[in-house]
Amino acid sequence: MTDFLPHNQITLLRNGTEYFPALERAIEQASFEIHLQTYIFEDDIIGRRIGGALMHAAQRGVHVCLLVDGFGCNRLPRKFIAELQDSGVEVLIYRPKISPWTLKRNRLRRLHRKVAVMDGKVAFVGGINIIDDMNTPGHTPPRVDYAVQVEGPLLPSIEASVRRLWRRIAWARLRSVRPHRTLAAPHQVGNMWAAYVMRDNALHRHDIEQAYLAAIESAQHEIVIANAYFLPGMDFRRALISASRRGVRVVLLLQGRVEYWLLHHATRALYRSFLAAGIEIHEYQKSFMHSKVAVIDNRWATVGSSNIDPMSLWLAREANIVVDDEGFARQLRADLEFSIQSGARLLRLDDWNHIGWIRRGTTWMTYNFIRFVMGLVGFPDKA
């Protein structure tokens, strides 16, 4: 069950054009502690800009903790990391040992969440890595992505989660951990009910998936899901199909451009069953879509880092904000509708039924290959 707290202010941030200035401003205003945890921290114009803000904060005495993923940041130059550390930024790497030749589950457990907390007063949660929106293959228009700025009573749970993970990784590296400062209770700054939902490999293994399933199963009018990497398990697929068959409009906004070949074609193996059940599928073509958001009944909404695929739902550390607020949900829904109308292509069942046998065979071969790999690493047989 999702635990909502009242009196929060949740601000929707669209793409890096809104997210990075807000993040940078919060870093500059921090007075004693910053935690930033991200999958990718790129050495590009944005990485240098946010890195510079972190270094300036450390130099003025703020305790700055940067945790990055070993795979997502495997190309981050050592020189850049040393520059951060020399300025006083504490840098830790989550699971630095990576290998393309292993299928051990531990190597696949990545830090995929994107969370930042400053002084226990403001937090950011979403799907946006520290990377320039234009840093995409072929320099296409900016990728589509979302984050939220969080203020209010939700802050202690977010801060506790980032501190707990930082402490665990630091102790594993035999690094000392500064005693944290006791914070005053956050003020009631808004009128939004919201929840912080994590996925880890201990006490919160299925929290994000269960939050989605509960909302889908209780939907009465409309479900809109925009997700970059969409390969849901059987329970999730059944929930969507069941919702459609009971008269709920179900809309999927998915990635239309090929970013990861195997996942792209495996996802398409599911299209026919969805379309036959009356589910709308829109493929976003205008640029790369990195979104991990949903809106249900113009009331329930989520923004976060979790894809709806095996890596996010069963292996990676993820974090989502769930909001129960009509104004926020309608704002996000309107933005998704704009993306659908301006940059997506609607797929139809008749068209899909007439695709060539080579294309159809490719989708099912990739889907079954991914199922086979999941079996090798011990995924539950729910795909």
Contacts of 262 (CB under 8 A, 6+ apart): 366, 369, 370
> Catalytic one among 35, 114, 265, 282?
114
CB of 53 within 8 A of CB of 27?
yes
Q: Beta-strand (E) ranges in the chain?
A: 5-14, 33-38, 63-69, 90-94, 114-118, 122-126, 146-151, 192-199, 222-227, 249-255, 280-284, 292-296, 300-304, 318-324, 344-347
> Catalytic one among 7, 56, 63, 119?
119
3-class state of residue 230 by DSSP: strand
Query: Rounded to an integer, what distance in angstroms lies between the CA atom of residue 359 and that of residue 66?
Result: 44
Q: Is 112 a catalytic residue?
A: yes
For the record, the structure tokens of 241 come out as 């199909």
297 conformational bin, left if phi > 0, alpha if psi -120 to 50, beta if neither: left
> Catalytic one among 292, 309, 325, 335?
292
Q: Beta-strand (E) ranges in 269-361?
A: 280-284, 292-296, 300-304, 318-324, 344-347
Q: Is 79 a catalytic residue?
A: no
Contacts of 122 (CB under 8 A, 6+ apart): 26, 149, 150, 151, 155
Q: Is 145 a catalytic residue?
A: no
Torsion angles phi and psi, residue 250, rounded to 5: -115, 120
Q: Is 354 a catalytic residue?
A: no
C-alpha distances out from residue 244 to 91, 124, 278, 341, Å: 47, 33, 6, 21
Q: Is 187 a catalytic residue?
A: no
176 conformational bin, left if phi > 0, alpha if psi -120 to 50, beta if neither: beta
Q: Is 206 a catalytic residue?
A: no
For the record, the structure tokens of 333 come out as 């829904």
Distance from the first to the final alpha carbon of the chain:
23
> Catalytic one among 112, 121, 264, 282?
112
Supply angle C-alpha 288, 290, 292, rounded to 5: 150
- Number of Cβ atoms within 10 Å of the Cβ of 134: 15
Q: Which of 218, 296, 287 is nearest to 255 (CA)?
A: 287
DSSP per-residue string spanning 73-142: TTTS-HHHHHHHHHTT-EEEEES----TT---HHHH--B--EEEEETTTEEEEES--BS-TT-SGGG-SP
Give the catalytic positions in this structure: 112, 114, 119, 290, 292, 297
